[in-house]
Amino acid sequence: MAEGDEKPVVNENKPTEAQVGLSQQIMAGAIADTQSKDLRAAPESALTRMADVTVDGIKKIPEGFKHSLDPSLILPNVAIGAAIGAGMKLILPKSGPVGAIASVALGGYFIGKPLVETYHGAYVARTMDDMNNASSLLGETLGGMPVTMVEAGIGAKLGSMAMGKALSVEAAQPFMNWKAHAYRGLDAKLMRGVESAKTLSLNAMGLESKVYRHGFIPEHVFDEIAARQPNNTEFLKTVEANRRLNTLVRQAREARQAEAAKPAQEGVGAREVFDAQGKEVDGVLVRSEGQKPTGNSEVDLAYDFTGAIRQFYKEVHGRNSIDGKGMKMQSTVNYGENFENAFWNGIRMTYGKPGPQSPFRTFMQRVIAGHEVTHGVTEFEAGTVYRNQPGALNEHFSDVGGALIDMYADKIPAGQYHWLVGKGIWKDNVAGEALRNMKKPGTAYDDPSIGKDIQPAHMKDYNKTPRDNGGVHINSGIPNRAFSEFASAVGGNAWEAPGHIWFEARARAGSTPSFSQFAFETIDAAKRLGHTDLVPKLEKAWADAGVKPTETPALHHRNFVPMFSTFGGTPAADAGAAVTVIPNANAEVRTNR
């Protein structure tokens, strides 16, 4: 360019041909997108919008089902299911209310999330296009469930199995033990709260049991004797005394809980025996650990009984006293005036003394002491609740504990034991050999003055009653029969393989097991403890009692089946999920003994 020529002016802001083309494409896309949407106003009423979305969403279920058949979605659904299955196996407990609540909460989230999004979308919809997106989400969620339930269920099972195998190694046992202990504590706290609310409700309706439930003599026995002996004033007084024990036990438990809040000190299960001297009090300390016999037969028997119990749990199960931490083993004898019972109040064992008109001979028996103190072991170790089938198992555990303690002290093998709980408890003029017969439930007593033993021996005769916390002392005969038959079939010492299997199963069964679930746990425990050869005998014992072993139900994580809806063909259809659960028939529970 020659000097002096003008430089051409270039407009740097002028779009290039490529930029113009891109802008035109964006504009065309926006126009097409707008034209594809239904921008008509949605109905003014929110209820109308939600109703319309529901109707349209149901119509779109077939389309959602068709989308769920897309092969490209199989692996993602299986992978998601596997991740959830493994995570739940790792985190959640094997059973119990906390695990059940967590499982239901997770299921509720997957079910509720797409539904909430659907109806929130309908509630805030301004155009018919918004309505269409909401109904598409509903159709995709509901339509995709049948197929994705199977896909994700397979994944969950694979993930759970893989994690279960990983957690079965020896290195994982400290973690598993810690998890089980932590969840048992949470279960117990939760169920105490549930039980408090339940008791208040039942009391308001007049349906709660009136007679003290912690005692060795159950409510239905008291009621039957009182009805048959209306003129026995002494016995009627003792029935009233038993009713007052509800307050006593609540106060004792509150005192123990307050004490538990203090720094724990390891003990050795030292024995202390108190004499109530005919009053309804803890009594005066009359014999402590290491002291010589007093000459008072009841004091010295209580001392010896607690020694036998302590020795059994230490030598057979390696347990340091009732709580596993050396809790003092306190007993009170001569409780109340003509008091017709023996009971564990959460702190101490207490024995009443039958009066002249009582049908009972004595409550000072080693098997009774073992039964009641084992309630304490169950409370500390497993927290098994005290209503319906879990409550009957709670009573059953104590009958088993009392019998094993009795056999161990005298070194009697299973084949030679009488299997009577409270043998000789009735006076000579009463036609009865015991309070319960573990091997032949329903045959322990039958006399016009006291009535007949009503324990069933088979599930077909299970007693569905609101009394006695759902028949906990009645229906315990069914698992009692199973254990006594199993131990007798195995032969030898019942406190060895049979006892270890039962105690292992109790510790792992959670706080709300049904008979069927506990039966499954005993079989699982037998295999885990190396007694696979005993499984056929165990299965036969449960079958003879009419109990079919069933693995922990879908409320708990082992059979938890997630169901995922799939990605649909519309932008509004996000992935959703749902969970199928089976309600637990034993939801009514109780923490009392």
Long-range CB pairs of 189-197 (<8 Å, 24+ gap) are 190/97, 190/98, 190/101, 191/97, 191/383, 191/385, 191/511, 191/512, 191/589, 191/590, 191/591, 192/591, 194/97, 194/589, 195/385, 195/589, 195/590, 195/591, 195/592
Does residue 463 carry a pLDDT above 90?
A: yes
Binned at pLDDT 50, 70 and 90, residue 111 comes out as: confident
Measuring CA to CA, how many Å separate 8 from each of 1, 2, 11, 73, 369? 11, 13, 10, 61, 113
Domain-embedded: residue 438: yes
If asked whether residues 315 and 426 sit together in one domain, one would say yes
- Asked if 547 contacts 476 with a C-beta cutoff of 8 angstroms, the reply is no
User: How confident is the model over 63-86, as pLDDT tens digits?
Assistant: 888 888 888 888 888 898 888 888
Query: What is the model's pLDDT at position 16?
Result: 63
Measuring CA to CA, how many Å separate 246 from each of 187, 201, 548, 590? 22, 16, 36, 14
Query: What is the model's pLDDT at position 369?
Result: 95
Does residue 202 carry a pLDDT above 60?
A: no
Domain-embedded: residue 345: yes
Give the amino acid at 522: T
Question: What rounded mean pLDDT belongs to the chain?
Answer: 80
Catalytic residue among 67, 214, 473, 531: 473
Of 222-231, 431-440, 573-582, the range with the highest mean pLDDT is 431-440
Low-confidence winner among 344-353, 496-505, 551-560 (lowest mean pLDDT): 551-560
The whole-number average pLDDT for the span 549-557 is 57
Does residue 554 carry a pLDDT above 60?
A: no
- Residue 352 CA to residue 492 CA, distance in Å, equals 35
DSSP class of residue 546 equals T
**Catalytic site includes residue 272:** no
- Residue 204 CA to residue 198 CA, distance in Å, equals 10
- Residue 160 CA to residue 213 CA, distance in Å, equals 40
Domain-embedded: residue 28: no
If asked whether residues 301 and 164 sit together in one domain, one would say no
Measuring CA to CA, how many Å separate 275 from each of 278, 335, 352? 8, 8, 11
Give the amino acid at 91: I
Query: What is the model's pLDDT at position 4?
Result: 54
Q: What is the pTM of this model?
A: 0.64
User: How confident is the model over 227-280, as pLDDT tens digits?
Assistant: 888 777 776 777 777 666 655 555 555 555 555 544 445 678 899 999 999 888
Domain-embedded: residue 533: no
DSSP class of residue 591 equals -
- Asked if 510 contacts 94 with a C-beta cutoff of 8 angstroms, the reply is yes
Domain-embedded: residue 334: yes
Does residue 575 carry a pLDDT above 50?
A: no
If asked whether residues 223 and 166 sit together in one domain, one would say no
Three-state DSSP class for 420? strand
Residue predicted with more confidence, 10 or 422: 422
Q: Report the share of the chain in percent with pLDDT over 70.
A: 75
Of 25-34, 181-190, 248-257, the range with the highest mean pLDDT is 181-190
If asked whether residues 261 and 228 sit together in one domain, one would say yes
Domain carrying residue 148: 40-177+562-580
| CATH code (residue 316) | 3.10.170.10
If asked whether residues 425 and 457 sit together in one domain, one would say yes
Give φ, ψ of 2 to 5 degrees.
Answer: -70, 155
Which residues, in sequence order, are bridge partners of residue 275? 284, 333
If asked whether residues 218 and 72 sit together in one domain, one would say no
Does residue 588 carry a pLDDT above 50?
A: no
Instruction: Tell which residue, 461, 525, 469, 470, has the closest CA to residue 497.
Output: 525
- Residue 459 CA to residue 198 CA, distance in Å, equals 26
- Of 433, 463, 491, the position where a domain reaches its end is 491
Binned at pLDDT 50, 70 and 90, residue 219 comes out as: confident
- Of 456, 491, 526, the position where a domain reaches its end is 491
| End-to-end Cα, the chain, rounded Å | 109
User: How confident is the model over 374-399, as pLDDT tens digits?
Assistant: 998 998 888 788 888 999 999 999 99
Measuring CA to CA, how many Å separate 7 from each of 1, 154, 210, 276, 547? 9, 76, 110, 120, 103
- Asked if 329 contacts 310 with a C-beta cutoff of 8 angstroms, the reply is yes
Instruction: Tell which residue, 398, 469, 409, has the closest CA to residue 435.
Output: 398
Domain-embedded: residue 109: yes
- Residue 215 CA to residue 496 CA, distance in Å, equals 28
If asked whether residues 169 and 205 sit together in one domain, one would say no
Query: What is the model's pLDDT at position 508?
Result: 84
Residue predicted with more confidence, 323 or 491: 491
Binned at pLDDT 50, 70 and 90, residue 117 comes out as: confident
Tokens of 430: 């009463």
* Beta strands 348-352 and 329-335, pairing class: parallel
Angle at 544 between CA 540 and CA 545, to 5 degrees: 120
Angle at 422 between CA 286 and CA 419, to 5 degrees: 130
Does residue 24 carry a pLDDT above 50?
A: yes
* Sign of the C-alpha dihedral computed for residues 379, 380, 381 and 382 taken in this order: positive
- Of 430, 459, 491, the position where a domain reaches its end is 491
If asked whether residues 367 and 441 sit together in one domain, one would say yes
The distance of Cα 82 from the centroid of its chain, to the nearest Å, equals 26
DSSP string, 86-128: HHHHHHS-SSSHHHHHHHHHHHHHHHHHHHHHHHHHHHH--BH
If asked whether residues 173 and 193 sit together in one domain, one would say no
Radius of gyration of the chain (CA): 33
Query: How many folded domains does the chain comprise?
Result: 2
Instruction: Tell which residue, 130, 246, 161, has the closest CA to residue 560.
Output: 161
Query: What is the model's pLDDT at position 249?
Result: 58
The whole-number average pLDDT for the span 14-28 is 59
Does residue 206 carry a pLDDT above 90?
A: no
If asked whether residues 382 and 439 sit together in one domain, one would say yes
Binned at pLDDT 50, 70 and 90, residue 570 comes out as: very low
If asked whether residues 248 and 379 sit together in one domain, one would say yes
Domain-embedded: residue 111: yes
Measuring CA to CA, how many Å separate 243 from each of 208, 211, 223? 12, 5, 12
Catalytic residue among 298, 372, 395, 588: 372
Domain-embedded: residue 125: yes
If asked whether residues 219 and 354 sit together in one domain, one would say yes
**Catalytic site includes residue 372:** yes
Binned at pLDDT 50, 70 and 90, residue 498 comes out as: very high
- Asked if 441 contacts 454 with a C-beta cutoff of 8 angstroms, the reply is no
Q: Residue with structure tokens 């038959």?
A: 485
